[in-house]
Amino acid sequence: MISARIGKLALAATAAWGMAFSAAHAADITFWTWRQEDKAAYTELFGDFTKANPDIHVKIEAFDPANYATILSTALAAGHGGDVLHTRAYGALETFAKAGYLLALDPKAVPELANLPADALASETLRADGKVYSLSFASQTLGVFINKDVFAKAGVQPPATWDAFLAACKALKAKGVIPLANGTATAWMDEVMASVFINPFLGPQFVADIQSGKASFEDKRYTAALGRLLELRDYMPPGFTGVDYATSQQLFLTGRAAMFAGGSFEIANFRKQNPKLNMDFIAPPAPSAGAPRYVSKFYDGGYAVNAKSAHQADALKLVRYMGTPAYGTKFAALLGNISPIKGVVINDPLLAEVAKLNETSMPYIMAVYFRFDSPTGSELLQSGLQKMMGGSATPEQVGADITKGVSRYYKPFQK
């Protein structure tokens, strides 16, 4: 009697599970991402997509950012993984595309690729075959965050030149404020900070010379620009070599520090953590009055289609939708990021300022050109910067180490 009842229950449960499973999977595609904090925004964005495509439902699976690449590569190697994938750009994209894990996006099948600027397309292109494998989702801009209230209280104006910057730092320090929140304990943030301050000294000509092989990182322009960073040490937090990224953020958010050299990717997070923060995002100081104040720009990553997806047509539909100005406009509004799609309307005043700063931008050099092979330029620079700021290496040694390291694969330096 009891066993018959258990049997019936088991049968009913199995049938219900089977029905639920088939219902859930009839037209479900999955989106894999490392942006756990953006899940709500993506749910809303994909809701719009499903309204227009009632047969396709998108399930979001978000993973730990630090392990995302490992999780994704393991899944793809086994022939699994999401149908649509959040991918990184440049070299990190190439490792996936080269392995054949991603579907090449044909401009005929994804005409929305025409909505993207050339540098965005380049960031998602496999250099070996010239094909685009992912649709860029955001550009990031590196510059200087300033706490307007702290500046006003100290009676200091936001600086436009390097000398004015140092003078402002001195004045802020005299008022008991930490001028620059950045520490150097988190290696990748050192590269961000360095790029913010040295790019205006380098200028686009240096980038062109690096690409042609006319200059290396031992070039006087580069080492002199690195040397400028040493002048900032007096204005960074006490014990800055032990101050990590999280602490730097908190110093700025709580008003203990007046400035933070960082990326536009911080805007949404800063607002969330301290909605009352009266902040601005400005271009880094120019080497001299009237010289261009270049911000550094790079693309974060894109949306790609799994080459082994069983729902490729639906996945492509989703990627096409994510390349439309309507999507880009809502994406920018919900996530506080700059969508690179042409025709996107940015209503947020701070983001609009960032978009304006992008008109005078330079590439974030190591990420854009030197993260395709090992050892990457970023690995060498980040480690070198920590040593240099800690006093155990000179700018010349850092420049020489980077040049020697990347010469292993970078043809222009092998001449």
Interface contacts to another protein, rule CB under 8 A = 65-70, 73, 76-77, 88, 91-92, 94-101, 183-188, 191, 237-243, 247, 371-376, 378-380, 382-384, 386-387, 390, 392-393, 401, 404-405, 408
If you write DSSP's letter for every residue of 392-410 in order, what string do you get?
SS-HHHHHHHHHHHHTTT-
CB nearer another protein, residue 44 or residue 373:
373
Residue among 316, 203, 188, 326 nearest 262 (CA): 188
CB nearer another protein, residue 68 or residue 321:
68
Are 184 and 389 within 8 A, CB to CB? yes
Residue among 278, 246, 248, 251 nearest 349 (CA): 278
Q: Which residues contact 5 (CB under 8 A, 6 or more apart)?
A: none
CB nearer another protein, residue 39 or residue 409:
409
Q: How far is the CB of 187 from another protein (least distance, A)?
A: 4
Q: How far is the CB of 302 from another protein (least distance, A)?
A: 16
CB nearer another protein, residue 284 or residue 384:
384
Q: How far is the CB of 222 from another protein (least distance, A)?
A: 18
What is the largest distance, in Å, between two alpha-carbon atoms of the chain? 92
Q: How far is the CB of 404 from another protein (least distance, A)?
A: 7
CB nearer another protein, residue 53 or residue 394:
394
Q: Which helix (H) or strand (E) holds 298?
A: strand 295-305
Q: Which residues contact 2 (CB under 8 A, 6 or more apart)?
A: none
Rg of the chain's alpha carbons, rounded to an integer?
A: 24
Are 384 and 402 within 8 A, CB to CB? yes
Q: How far is the CB of 387 from another protein (least distance, A)?
A: 4
CB nearer another protein, residue 249 or residue 376:
376
Amino acid letter, 381:
L
CB nearer another protein, residue 189 or residue 341:
189
Q: How far is the CB of 245 from another protein (least distance, A)?
A: 10
Phi, psi of 208 (to 5 degrees): -60, -40
Q: How far is the CB of 389 from another protein (least distance, A)?
A: 8
Angle ∠(215,216,219) on CA atoms, nearest 5: 75
Q: What span, in angstroms and rounded, lies between the C-alpha atoms of 335 and 138?
A: 10
Q: What span, in angstroms and rounded, lies between the C-alpha atoms of 237 and 274?
A: 21
**Around Cβ 56, how many Cβ atoms within 10 Å?**
20
CB nearer another protein, residue 67 or residue 157:
67
Q: How many residues does the chain have?
A: 415
CB nearer another protein, residue 62 or residue 185:
185
Are 181 and 232 within 8 A, CB to CB? no
Q: How far is the CB of 105 from another protein (least distance, A)?
A: 17
Q: How far is the CB of 391 from another protein (least distance, A)?
A: 9
Q: How far is the CB of 257 from another protein (least distance, A)?
A: 11
Q: Which residues contact 212 (CB under 8 A, 6 or more apart)?
A: 412
Are 325 and 115 within 8 A, CB to CB? yes
CB nearer another protein, residue 121 or residue 393:
393
Q: What span, in angstroms and rounded, lies between the C-alpha atoms of 348 and 8?
A: 59
